[in-house]
Amino acid sequence: MDNEMVIGVDLGGTHMRTALVDGTGSILRRQKTATSISLGVRQTTQRLIAECRAEMDAAEEFGGTVIGIGLGVAGKVDHKRGWVVFSPNLPAMRDYPLGPELENSLGLPVLLENDTNVFGIGENWVGAGREIHNWVGLTLGTGVGGCLILDGKLWNGDNLGFVGEIGHMIVHPEGPRCTCGLNGCLEAHASGRALLEFVNDAASRGWLTSGPLYELWNDGKLNAQGIYRCSLAGDPTAQKAFARMGWALGLALANLFTVLGIRSVILGGGVSAGWDQFIEPLGRSLAEHSSMLVVEDAVIQRSALGDDAALLGAARLALQYYSLPSL
């Protein structure tokens, strides 16, 4: 068992990242390359196969052998067949047999999972969740991803191809439109896109007319990081955008904690770096919307693994293939 290794893959719309991981959760080698989906699905698949071959060669140099590949991808996946059903970041991969393509080329088992679920598996294995039995995972990025770790394991629900979609929990039915087509989802309040839309809306209504935030908007250079910097510098519109985000997160967590009888959350994703701008309103909203929970008992943590969480979670998935009879 000592020299058995796995490959973890985080397949995003912009980059594909691969890592060679040993059985203890140590990353021995990691690579990042452009996904280049615009060149076509076949080209992307060939590139991914080449990256995996490079990891397999590296495993030999470490005196090990790769026994499987785990792969995290945004969107809906069919675990049993190893197909990407639909990925918002990779629309060209709709109903695409990515797992079987890799298996045929590399001769290794390939396990596919939603990207936020692999974040949860990774943090649960060697990250912030390793000593917590029950917790909610939220990844705050362009959108909001969610997962549930219950009884120490990823909750899979009825295996419908979606689970833990906390980003699409409705927190305000009259609220802003979400990418899913409904109104008032958590994602429409607490994502990078939601921050941008809040500022866009304020500027186009004439409520934001000067200052660094206005300049960013006017120059077409607005992004979540810029809004964060302006909030830190005291811009009231940027602060309101983050306050709304914290309010929505606190409301969603209050509901989840009350329903599940749990008290822990782990926040990841790039926008969670703006933690200091939303954590206070989050705490206030959690307190305001909780009737059963002793709010002081709530455990709100940031990801311990950062970008590595998805890679390690994907790797863990491949290791579990050999240890769990249910898979």
Specify whether the CB–CB gap between 195 and 144 falls below 8 A: no
Q: What is the 3-state secondary structure (H, E, C) of 34-90?
A: ECCHHHCHHHHHHHHHHHHHHHHHHHHHCCCEEEEEEEEECCEEECCCCEEEECCCC
Q: Which stretch binds Zn ion (CB under 5 A): 20-28, 33-41, 162-170, 284-292?
A: 162-170
DSSP 155-188: --TT-SS----GGGSBS-TTSPBPTTS-BSBTHH
Does 241 contact Zn ion by CB under 5 A?
no
Nearer to Zn ion, 27 or 182 (CB): 182
Min CB(251)–Zn ion separation in Å: 15
Q: How far apart are CA 242 and CA 196, in angstroms?
A: 11
Min CB(171)–Zn ion separation in Å: 10
Q: How far apart are CA 27 and CA 8, in angstroms?
A: 9
Sign of the Cα torsion 38, 39, 41, 46 reads negative
Does 178 contact Zn ion by CB under 5 A?
yes
Kindly write out the interface string for residues 245-274 of this chain, putting x where it contacts Zn ion by CB under 5 A and - elsewhere.
Answer: ------------------------------
Nearer to Zn ion, 25 or 167 (CB): 167
Nearer to Zn ion, 122 or 145 (CB): 145
Min CB(142)–Zn ion separation in Å: 13
Site for Zn ion in 16-35 (CB under 5 A): none
Expressed in angstroms, the distance from the first to the final Cα of the chain is 19
Nearer to Zn ion, 23 or 143 (CB): 143
Min CB(180)–Zn ion separation in Å: 3
Q: Which stretch binds Zn ion (CB under 5 A): 77-85, 100-108, 165-173, 291-299?
A: 165-173
Q: How far apart are CA 304 and CA 306, in angstroms?
A: 6
Q: What is the size of the binding site for Zn ion (CB under 5 A)?
A: 4
| DSSP designation for 134 | S
Number of H helices, E strands in the chain: 10, 12
Which tokens belong to 78?
């069919």
Q: Which stretch binds Zn ion (CB under 5 A): 97-105, 176-184, 197-205, 305-313?
A: 176-184
Nearer to Zn ion, 181 or 261 (CB): 181
Sole binder of Zn ion in the list 17, 168, 193, 289 (CB under 5 A)? 168
Does 170 contact Zn ion by CB under 5 A?
no
Does 185 contact Zn ion by CB under 5 A?
yes
Q: How far apart are CA 224 and CA 247, in angstroms?
A: 17
Sole binder of Zn ion in the list 150, 180, 260, 304 (CB under 5 A)? 180
AA identity, residue 122: G
Residue numbers of the site for Zn ion (CB under 5 A)?
168, 178, 180, 185
